[in-house]
Amino acid sequence: MCVIKAIVLYGYGLNCDYETKFALDQSGAEAQRVHINELISGEVRLDRYHLLALPGGFSWGDDHGAGVILGLRLKMALRPDLEAFIHAGKVILGICNGFQVLVNVGLLPGLEGGYFQRQAALIHNDCGNFRDAWVNLRVRPTRCPFFKDIEQLELPIRHGEGKFYAPDDLLAELFARKQVALQYATPQGDLAQGRFPHNPNGSLRDIAGICDATGRILGLMPHPEAFVSELQHPTWTRRKESWRRQGLPYPAPPGAGLKIFQNAVDYLKAHFL
């Protein structure tokens, strides 16, 4: 194989699959939208790919809790395939609904390879309603290849069940083991310290994204695929004059979210091609 191949799952209410495929294709991968049933039936084989992306959306209408049913489907049908995929050094990305799935299926937090046991949860936002907003994020040092050379960034969130919850001892362990990848911050770059709206959902310790012990499984609530061009930023009309002055590419420079996908694809290229 001379190209990095990625699966982006779709079906049953997942809805950011086209955008996620676009971001991966833009990053130099060959991404394919694959229906959940194609993977479960074995028609499409996971071992032919390097990256599995679980995009955002409302799988099974968030019935029984966001990501619960898809998590269960994957666990019952694909557990050995997922284990082999992880042990082969490949990469899994869960965005928003995908993050909820990874937590439900027990692939995250995945302490020291302990998968398929649910240890944490993404529960209803403290504000009591679905929240659609841009947030500031701070990247913490982890083994996660996705955040190479990124310290902070802005991304949009849109979810009703994004509050990261874990018992105190697990939270402490996640920080100690460097598995907390992303935290909500203020526009000045300080931690949000639980305060709304900078922390949009009441997530404990401002957690917006975590990775497993290997760093190769990442889940995050914000949507990097929704910021692949600066034109998607709400203040782009005010920013565009400065792009012109700096001679940045026309019609706009890439959005900060694209780098996350590029980092993952570059990591896989270095290891598999």
Which residue from 11, 109, 145, 160 is in contact with ligand GLN, where contact means CB under 6 A?
160
Residue nearest to ligand GLN (CB): 56
Q: Please report whether residue 97 would count as binding ligand GLN according to CB under 6 A.
A: yes
Q: Please report whether residue 96 would count as binding ligand GLN according to CB under 6 A.
A: yes
Q: Looking at 16, 96, 144, 211, which residue is catalytic?
A: 96
Q: In whole angstroms, how close is the CB of 97 to ligand GLN at the nearest point?
A: 4
- Residue 125's Cα: distance from chain center in Å? 18
- Mark residues 65-84: x for contact with ligand GLN by CB under 6 A, - for none: -x------------------
Which residue from 50, 90, 140, 159 is in contact with ligand GLN, where contact means CB under 6 A?
159
Q: In whole angstroms, how close is the CB of 130 to ligand GLN at the nearest point?
A: 6
Q: Catalytic: 225?
A: yes
Nearer to ligand GLN, 130 or 175 (CB): 130
Q: Looking at 124, 198, 223, 233, which residue is catalytic?
A: 223
Question: Which residue, among 154, 38, 37, 53, has the nearest Cα to 96 in the 3D structure?
Answer: 53
- Mark residues 213-252: x for contact with ligand GLN by CB under 6 A, - for none: ----------------------------------------
- Mark residues 125-154: x for contact with ligand GLN by CB under 6 A, - for none: -----x------------------------
List the structure tokens of 203.
């997530």
Q: Please report whether residue 162 would count as binding ligand GLN according to CB under 6 A.
A: yes
Nearer to ligand GLN, 97 or 142 (CB): 97
Q: Catalytic: 211?
A: no
Q: Catalytic: 144?
A: no
| Separation of alpha carbons 225 and 3, rounded Å | 21
Nearer to ligand GLN, 222 or 267 (CB): 222
Nearer to ligand GLN, 125 or 263 (CB): 125
Nearer to ligand GLN, 227 or 267 (CB): 227
Which amino acid type is present at position 66? Answer: A
Torsion sign over Cα 219, 178, 132, 250:
negative
Enzyme catalytic residues: 96, 223, 225
